[in-house]
Chains A and B, each alone.
Chain A
């Protein structure tokens, strides 16, 4: 390492002022975006790299490859409807899929805490293999590291994935126009609320499962049939639908108005959110996608997603307009409106 001041080439200027990393920087909301935009991207990707998508386009010798990376640190490791292994594969697959790609291969890096029962590891490896087979993607390699007991929370998984972009697909915030419609594939908040309840701190029980799954069966027919009419896609994981739509609003300067009553929401999720003072729009999903669709293709898009396995509950939740500039507005059935902001910090239940 070159000591500072001795021939060190001045690096790019960064504007990140937070003195230390907080949990909020990993929660997928406004702090995450600031960390990426003003520290990570300028230093690693060069200046001007803003509004990063879920995966990077990588044209190699004429082949339209797409590459993504993801990390998984969920606790508890298993929960209703899934486990960290399933989440890792589905999450990586979904990042590729909403970037318009068919997944080809995934690598898996395991960081294990000494003392982890072999049975736990074996169960997660089996879960990963099964999930990959179901999604039609190959696990082609990886790495394993073990850290001292107490230096990690049982196991972390880091993945990389590559896919091949479907022909005739052009996704990105620059494609989005006023008048476009916003499609959501199904009920929101299932994953986040399931995890919150699985931690067992709330003494609340609900008949609820994580929605972890591959969105490929829904997205592939949509993109193959309507290609250029699909303008933007995202899987609303950490930070929820609110953060994904706010990113779009910020990147385009456009306004997105959603109708609150049109949001597909299970009763258990709605009840938990009402009780804890959480906004379901901020809660993480692991098996849903958002698509911005040209208005003339809207009806067909909805028919296609609804006909696909797992897309039965899809619906349009809103529309892109010019107002309010660079913000997301929710409208209620009775005429009230409110701004939907990005998640600030971690979602903390309100008590008093």
Chain B
């Protein structure tokens, strides 16, 4: 398959692996954060840890939109969905995420009208086909998915469809990176920059990481060879003592981003003064809401939203894992109370969450390895 097989070629991957081993100084320990949940998923799915030397450690970052969403937002969305005539529409990613009283999927089993859609436009189509109902699209995602939500809202306005609204949970990628770098217990050597987000925002927004924080960042693709090549580029910078923004994913990511997508976002959304992130707390100017001109399509303006706040279970250490301070398996609940089937924290729900990825692909492998060492 084109654009896939080339990036999984054993010979090329072998060369990249050897180059990483050659570049990694055995006297140093490298801590590199992949910001994006898609990267976390790919690293586990492709078993890339098996190819890296022990002193190149990957720290899983906050870039999984499902994982960073506070539980109260799900309860808020479900509260709206319980009002008569409302259809709750969301991506499949959201369906198993637990609120305080169960996930959207569990509410569906209890009779709530919950639909999985594959694009916000599908949710708008639902509204068009059900004029006597109200369709609420539960929007999540970073700058990757925000433009398609914006375009959908613009289309709803153009077509005069008013039985449709968006419960906006879109967030932006730069503020949580800042929050992580400000965290006192965090020591990183560099970043694998997000791939999909960067197709929209480009590479310029990361310049401060290199210039002010002195850390190299390489925007990376999602195939095994992409990730290994990005690590080679990072290690070369670290060896040379430079800190620059580089773009490994140039076949998809334009340096200046996607102007049309950014334009649609600016037209429909504005920054919220602050927004709560699961595990990271309140971060100012880190999330989007609809502008006043689009109030008709804003769930939070059209419905009474309770504004539920739910604290995470005390024993769950999602915050520490999300910031990369703890490894998933170091959390007290990991694999016991908290499993992909019965997740306590959101990191265990989405396949992009580091806990679920670790549990699904790595966990028992590790146990087997430890057992064979004993």
Interface residues of A (CB under 8 A from B): 20-24, 30-31, 201-203, 255, 267, 270-271, 274, 277, 323-325, 327, 329, 332-339, 341, 344-345, 348-352
Given A351-B91, A351-B145, 9 new contacts (CB under 8 A): A23-B109, A30-B341, A327-B364, A334-B10, A336-B50, A338-B362, A339-B365, A341-B360, A348-B92
- The docked-state distance in angstroms from the alpha carbon of A277 to that of B45 is 11
Contact A344/B50 with A270-B1, A350-B93 known, Cβ cut-off 8 Å: no
When C-beta atoms are compared, the residue in chain A nearest to B350 turns out to be A350
**Distance of A273 from chain B, by nearest CB (Å):** 11
Chain A residues near B362 (CB, 8 Å)? Answer: 338-339
- The docked-state distance in angstroms from the alpha carbon of A37 to that of B238 is 53
Tell whether, in the assembled complex, residue A345 and residue B352 are in contact, meaning their CB atoms are under 8 Å apart: no
Chain A residues near B92 (CB, 8 Å)? Answer: 348-351
- The docked-state distance in angstroms from the alpha carbon of A334 to that of B351 is 23
B86-118 interface mask toward A, CB cutoff 8 Å, 1 = contact, 0 = none? Answer: 000001110110000000011001100000111
- The docked-state distance in angstroms from the alpha carbon of A333 to that of B50 is 12
B130-146 interface mask toward A, CB cutoff 8 Å, 1 = contact, 0 = none? Answer: 00000000001110110
**Distance of B357 from chain A, by nearest CB (Å):** 9
Secondary structure type dominating chain A contacts: loop
When C-beta atoms are compared, the residue in chain A nearest to B66 turns out to be A352
Tell whether, in the assembled complex, residue B44 and residue A350 are in contact, meaning their CB atoms are under 8 Å apart: no
The 5 A-B residue pairs whose C-beta atoms are closest, nearest first, are A336-B47, A348-B92, A324-B368, A334-B13, A352-B141
Contact A338/B372 with A348-B95, A350-B351 known, Cβ cut-off 8 Å: no
Tell whether, in the assembled complex, residue A352 and residue B1 are in contact, meaning their CB atoms are under 8 Å apart: no
Tell whether, in the assembled complex, residue B341 and residue A255 are in contact, meaning their CB atoms are under 8 Å apart: no
Does B272 lie at the interface of the complex (its beta carbon under 8 Å from any beta carbon of A)?
no
B1-22 interface mask toward A, CB cutoff 8 Å, 1 = contact, 0 = none? Answer: 1001000111001100100000
Tell whether, in the assembled complex, residue B106 and residue A22 are in contact, meaning their CB atoms are under 8 Å apart: yes
Interface residues of B (CB under 8 A from A): 1, 4, 8-10, 13-14, 17, 44-48, 50-51, 65-66, 91-93, 95-96, 105-106, 109-110, 116-119, 122, 140-142, 144-145, 224, 340-341, 350-352, 360-365, 367-368, 371-372
**Distance of B12 from chain A, by nearest CB (Å):** 9
Most buried by A among B10, B142, B364: B364
Tell whether, in the assembled complex, residue A348 and residue B96 are in contact, meaning their CB atoms are under 8 Å apart: yes
- The docked-state distance in angstroms from the alpha carbon of A327 to that of B360 is 11
- The docked-state distance in angstroms from the alpha carbon of A20 to that of B110 is 9
**Distance of B50 from chain A, by nearest CB (Å):** 5
**Distance of B172 from chain A, by nearest CB (Å):** 14
**Distance of A262 from chain B, by nearest CB (Å):** 14
Tell whether, in the assembled complex, residue A332 and residue B93 are in contact, meaning their CB atoms are under 8 Å apart: no
Contact A271/B48 with A332-B8, A351-B92 known, Cβ cut-off 8 Å: no
- The docked-state distance in angstroms from the alpha carbon of A300 to that of B281 is 62
- The docked-state distance in angstroms from the alpha carbon of A351 to that of B10 is 28
Chain A residues near B47 (CB, 8 Å)? Answer: 332, 335-338
